[in-house]
Structure 1
Amino acid sequence: MNSGPKILVVDDEERIRRLLKMYLEREDYIIDEAENGDTALEKALENEYDLILLDIMMPGKDGIEVCQEIRKEKATPIIMLTAKGEEVNRVQGFEVGTDDYIVKPFSPREVVLRVKALLRRSASSQKYVQEKAVTKDVIVFSHLTIDNDAHRVTADGTEVSLTPKEYELLYFLAKSPDKVFDRERLLKEVWHYEFFGDLRTVDTHVKRLREKLSRISENAAKMIVTVWGVGYKFEVMND
């Protein structure tokens, strides 16, 4: 019996769901399925999944809408499945909070590798975080602490729930305090893609990151600074 991370596979084509299920179960993942956006959203909100594979084009609610609704409640890692040529939809996916995308037709082995990679860096899959007796990779500021070994962020002592991509963006900026990064550089370093997309993807994630931090600590949120006409930086505050 499989005992690994639990994954929700969402696609309106049964053959694709069956193919993904077969390959993922070989890796000891527990697979649940949904054939449309409405069912997917219901399952995603009622259950705790380690990752969701979500097709964009579906009858009823599409993948963009489903992702947007999930992000209002949860930080579950999401990989979007998109047909070739749907670049606009991929950009929209990043803007609403998806963490990665795979273009159809895809290799099932590629899907498995992407799933493994996202689970490793996902805060919601502690099975893939190395447990260490002494935490070494920790960045500490006055109002914000980033524990990279545990993929955990705390603001004024309270844990902040972030998606994997929000976490990566914050960690990347915080590693180089006061250094300004333009949006193109952030897309390359955080999203790991060279694609002709809307740079608002970065703006959207920064906005969402600030909102989550500000709910707990206004001081922590203010550390992410907009440099007008250039990009963003992480500014260390002097209390």
Structure 2
Amino acid sequence: METILLIDDDVELCAMLTDYLNRHGFRAIAVHHGETGLRVAIEKSASLVLLDVMLPGINGFEVLRRLRAVSTVSVLLLTARGEDDDRIVGLETGADDYLAKPFNPRELLARIRAILRRSSTAENSSAKSGTSGKLLRVDGIELDTAARSVCCDGADLELTDIEFSLLEALMRSPGDVVTREELAVSVLGRKFHPFDRSLDMHVSRLRRKLDDSGRPGDQVKTIRGVGYQLAVRTMQKIAGE
């Protein structure tokens, strides 16, 4: 049974969501304070963290920042409706996805399942393939689909599940434009919405990490109105096929 950690100071909402998630096959735990939530998120092996922005103690952004320094656990950020800046900051800080309050519990459940399905697919791939999985090598970037690891010119690159899936999708079509619609389905697990900035923010974080590794982040190019392209100078075939 997968564990969902809910960090939110709305006690009534937490009680409702805990009951709802428990009835749908999850083990839900609720914490109502920022610092306590951070400690539990680090110490407990939760499959996913539902994190509210407004918290007593330290706010959700600070919880997320400190959590990302030590963990790649999936995080779904809960924001106030209309607070676009909160969503952008959350995604830039490392949230996997966001959902605006008030929300339909069925929409929350769909988002949770999409995130966990992506994580489960990655784990199953690694378990079945061991360390001899398929390698994607493109222009000095090496991505191991089994070990879920990425090296840029020999240096390890730490990516979240979404960033890894995004880079993998681009590396499977090097030099070609991959549409936002295709990436939304394959990476986020949902249909593309023109006002959803999630994909753009994940691309921005991927570029930043490529820059930090010494690899030019502008290698991931935006094709306005269409999608994204991994610009390459040289490329190799997939190993292990």
Secondary structure (helix, strand or coil) at the match of 1:110 reads: helix
Length-normalised TM-score, structure 2: 0.74
For 2:8 and 2:71, how far apart are their aligned partners in 1?
Answer: 20
- Alpha-carbon displacement from aligned partner over 1:174-195 (angstroms, at most 9, x marks no partner): 121023569x789856554422
Cα offset for 1:37?
A: 1.5
Pick which of 49-58 and 201-210 moved more. Answer: 201-210
**Is the CA contact 1:188–1:194 (under 8 Å) kept in the aligned structure 2?**
no
**Is the CA contact 2:68–2:94 (under 8 Å) kept in the aligned structure 1?**
yes
Cα offset for 1:94?
A: 0.9
The change in CA–CA distance for 1:90 and 1:151 in structure 2 (over 3 A counts) is farther
Residue equivalent to 1:194? 194
Residue equivalent to 1:119? 116
**Is the CA contact 1:121–1:151 (under 8 Å) kept in the aligned structure 2?**
no
Cα offset for 1:203?
A: 2.2
For 1:207 and 1:194, how far apart are their aligned partners in 2?
Answer: 23
Residue equivalent to 1:140? 136
The change in CA–CA distance for 1:228 and 1:106 in structure 2 (over 3 A counts) is closer
For 2:121 and 2:70, how far apart are their aligned partners in 1?
Answer: 14
Cα offset for 1:49?
A: 1.7
Residue equivalent to 1:176? 173
Secondary structure (helix, strand or coil) at the match of 2:50 reads: strand
Residue equivalent to 1:89? 86
* 1:43-62 equivalence runs, <5 A: 43-62=40-59
The change in CA–CA distance for 1:210 and 1:26 in structure 2 (over 3 A counts) is farther
**Is the CA contact 2:136–2:172 (under 8 Å) kept in the aligned structure 1?**
no
For 1:159 and 1:48, how far apart are their aligned partners in 2?
Answer: 24
For 1:125 and 1:15, how far apart are their aligned partners in 2?
Answer: 35
Aligned length: 225
The change in CA–CA distance for 1:75 and 1:102 in structure 2 (over 3 A counts) is same
Cα offset for 1:139?
A: 4.7
**Is the CA contact 2:3–2:47 (under 8 Å) kept in the aligned structure 1?**
yes
**Is the CA contact 1:146–1:171 (under 8 Å) kept in the aligned structure 2?**
no
Length-normalised TM-score, structure 1: 0.75
Q: Which amino acid aligns with 1:152?
A: R
Q: Which runs of 5+ in 1 are unaligned?
A: none
The change in CA–CA distance for 1:232 and 1:24 in structure 2 (over 3 A counts) is same
For 1:193 and 1:138, how far apart are their aligned partners in 2?
Answer: 32
Cα RMSD over matched residues? 3.7
- Alpha-carbon displacement from aligned partner over 1:153-196 (angstroms, at most 9, x marks no partner): 343899854212211221221121023569x7898565544226
Residue equivalent to 1:208? 209
The change in CA–CA distance for 1:134 and 1:6 in structure 2 (over 3 A counts) is closer
Asked if 1:30 is matched to 2:16, the reply is no
Q: Which amino acid aligns with 2:81?
A: K
* 1:220-235 equivalence runs, <5 A: 221=215, 225-227=219-221, 233-235=230-232
Q: Which runs of 5+ in 2 are unaligned?
A: 237-241
The change in CA–CA distance for 1:92 and 1:186 in structure 2 (over 3 A counts) is farther
Q: Which amino acid aligns with 2:194?
A: E
- Alpha-carbon displacement from aligned partner over 1:43-98 (angstroms, at most 9, x marks no partner): 12222221100111222322122112111111111101112111111111111111
Give the alignment partner of residue 74 of structure 1, picking from 59, 63, 71: 71
The change in CA–CA distance for 1:229 and 1:171 in structure 2 (over 3 A counts) is closer
For 1:103 and 1:131, how far apart are their aligned partners in 2?
Answer: 35
For 2:218 and 2:182, how far apart are their aligned partners in 1?
Answer: 14
**Is the CA contact 1:224–1:235 (under 8 Å) kept in the aligned structure 2?**
no
